[in-house]
Amino acid sequence: MSHAILSASASYRWINCPPSVRLSEEFTEKTSEYALEGTNAHQLCENKLKRVLGMDTKESIHDLDFYNDEMEECAEGYVNYVFEIISKYEKPLVLIEERLDLSKFAKDSFGTADCIILGDRELHIIDYKHGQGILVDAENNSQLMLYSLGALNLFDDIYDIETVTMHIYQPRRENISVFTRTPIELYKWAKEVIKPKAELAYKGEGEYKSGEWCRFCKAKNTCRKRVEVALEIAKEEFKFPPLLSDSEIEEILEILDQIDSWSKDIKDYALGKALEGKKWKNYKLVEGRSNRKYVNEEKVADIVIKEGLNPYEEKLLGITAMTKLLGKERFNELLSDLLEKPKGKPTLVSRSDKREEIETVKEEFYDLTQRTIVGCR
């Protein structure tokens, strides 16, 4: 399968760091098991959706290497979500796994939309995400916005489209995210952002910039810009946190995640090279620590039982496993009153995070301290 030089899926990176596109061409692409599992999940979603809509499909679960009950449940949920949107319209146009030409906005670019629905002057772009590591947001999502432009390029001259709604369906994170824009707003974004950035990226020009978009860059392990950003913190005097000014702490917080990510990538890269046979001057490959384990658990259990002892420990099933055991509906009916969601541990995150800000932590800790003091009298 051919890949676009300026792919929509990598647009977040090449918009922020245009020259990374050409730099990445020097590196071989390695397909992870997670990526293959995601591909299988998309194939299953396509198969199920086409069958529900009475379309021909050649896909079969027998061809899926990573098929399991969870994937089946995720695909069923996706189909139900899509069908809910379809059912809003009398005679909608539905396209599944539609290849979109994006070259009008970024040279030699194309992408494949999981599902496109057009009805009553409303266009929907739905993207299935099987990954559970990174929460994906539809708001200002460049991949979905590029898909939207590609779909508009197909239909805008035929249909009078008024709104474009972009959907992220990410079941393993219990995440459904929706974002709506008008065609005018999308074309404006294409003109002001996509076209100039795409032109730089295609030529390998522009400024290198390090950020969270580096995560999926093939050149991330040896990129000099990431080194420069990671070492910026060394420009600060090594003071204890209380001695730093608020502005210094703000600057450091902004790059700490990048430093942690860069550090892990360097270690992974060096280990990978060592496993390939490279001898580092001051580092060597050794066998890591491991714990003892049973060679044959059934045999161990039989021997212990013959000794008159119970080799097993009993533990209440977790909420996810219990839901699968009882079924979601029965689980809610029987156990919903016995569930609680404790407050999570306070965490400092970027202002872009959508979780509600905690305002009363200091007061709560103060009250707790006061009660403790009173109790000691």
89-126 pLDDT, tens digit each: 999 999 999 999 999 999 989 999 999 999 999 999 99
> Is the four-CA dihedral 276, 277, 279, 284 of positive or negative sign?
positive
pTM: 0.70
Other CB atoms within a 10 A radius of the CB of residue 272 amount to 12
In whole angstroms, give the CA distance from residue 65 to residue 63.
6
DSSP character at residue 212: G
322 has a pLDDT exceeding 80: yes
Is there a contact between 270 and 283 (Cβ–Cβ < 8 Å)?
yes
Position 375 scores a pLDDT of 37
- Taking residues 356-360, report their average pLDDT: 74
What is the model's pLDDT at position 42?
Answer: 94
Contact between residue 118 and residue 91 where contact means Cβ atoms under 8 Å apart: no
Residue that the structure tokens 């404790």 belong to: 342
Residue 360's pLDDT is 59
Looking at residues 255-270, what average pLDDT do you find?
Answer: 74
- Nearest residue to 186 via CA among 166, 171, 209: 166
Q: Where are the domains of the chain?
A: 11-203, 297-331
Q: Is the domain defined by 11-203 classed in CATH 3.90.320? A: yes
Cα→Cα distances 35→30, 32, 131, 216, 272, Å: 10, 5, 9, 12, 19
Confidence band of 368 (pLDDT split at 50, 70, 90): very low
How many CA atoms are closer than 13 Å to the CA of 157, on its beta-carbon side?
3
CA–CA distance, 214 with 216 (Å, rounded to integer):
6
Q: Which residue has the higher pLDDT, 357 or 80?
A: 80
pLDDT (tens digit per residue) in 151-198: 999 998 888 999 999 999 999 998 999 999 999 999 999 999 999 999
